[in-house]
Amino acid sequence: MFSMPAEQARALIGRLICFRSGNNRPRIVRTVRMAFAGTNVSLSQPDITQKLTERIDDLKQRIAAWGKRIRRYTERSTRFNQNRLFQSDHKRLHESLERPMVSGTGPAPNQADIVAFWRGLWSEPVNHSEGPWTEVVASQCAGITPMDPVIITPDDVAEAVRRAPNWKSPGLDGLHHYWLKGFMVCHSVLARQFQEALNQKSLPSLFTTGITHLVPKDQGTTDPSKYRPITEDLKNDSPQTGFLLYLLSSPESRN
């Protein structure tokens, strides 16, 4: 978008420098006159060298400003495309993140520093200030009829898996939804595992373990805070979400 004006400005700077060095060819002189058009600057005035230097510095500053605009636009466009791809096709996004970077191949941050940084953000206890409104909400919810016990059957698993994308980015086991749809003998095992997790009110560690890619915000930095985390959505999360949506829906909407 700004590359064409920048290239033209660089070419103009080169011709201004040639004229300042004593090159008086007609083509160079014509370009210099066009550069000072509408500024009341004559090429024969005594301080023309100073005017040339000021004009060259002005063009260099414009080129630097255009370069910053291009970088900001490129970074914003990259973030937008990654976020949109994260919502539509996880596999393509993580494949693109795993490709070797052409630029910005500086030293990577230390793994221990990364773990310590994010653990300091998410694992430290937080004291929430609970206002009087929480008691009001609790009293309002006291009269709500508890939900009937949920029984997860292999048919529920089959329905949840059926709606999942075939080749969505897999979890740590590398198994895609396509195979879960085909190997129906696994549905009873999955139903039992989800039922146990629901009854015990806890999830296996595999269900909450994923792969996080750190995309650097700046080039060549080892500061963990200068990286943007993109966590791979677990394959098991899609069936789990499907279970919740399917089981919480009304019986009429299931059919």
- pLDDT above 60 (res 60): yes
Q: Which long-range contacts (CB under 8 A, 24 or more apart) does 73-77 make?
A: 73/1
Residue 233 or 83, more confident? 83
Residue 43 or 140, more confident? 140
Residue-wise pLDDT tens digits, 145-194: 887 888 888 888 888 888 777 877 676 667 778 888 888 888 898 888 88
Structure tokens at 221: 């930095």
10 Å Cβ neighbour count for 156?
22
Q: Give the CA radius of gyration of the chain.
A: 31
pLDDT bracket for residue 249 (50, 70, 90): low
In the chain, where are the structural domains located?
Answer: 3-88, 150-254
Residue 164 or 247, more confident? 164
- Which H or E element spans position 230? strand 227-231
Cβ-contact 50, 198 below 8 angstroms: no
> What local confidence, expressed as pLDDT, does residue 102 receive?
44
Across the strands, what pairs with 214? 229
Across the strands, what pairs with 231? 212
Report, as an integer, the average pLDDT of 15-44: 81
> What local confidence, expressed as pLDDT, does residue 134 receive?
86
> What local confidence, expressed as pLDDT, does residue 38 receive?
74
> What local confidence, expressed as pLDDT, does residue 49 receive?
83
Residue-wise pLDDT tens digits, 89-144: 777 777 777 665 544 556 778 888 888 888 888 887 877 777 888 888 888 888 88
Report, as an integer, the average pLDDT of 55-80: 87
- pLDDT above 70 (res 241): no
> What local confidence, expressed as pLDDT, does residue 171 receive?
65
Nearest CA-CA partner of 187 in 162, 157, 151: 157
Read off the pTM: 0.44
Which stretch of 67-71, 198-202, 236-240 has the lowest confidence by average pLDDT? 236-240
Percent of the chain scored above 70 by pLDDT? Answer: 81
Across the strands, what pairs with 212? 231
> What local confidence, expressed as pLDDT, does residue 243 receive?
56
Residues in the chain: 255
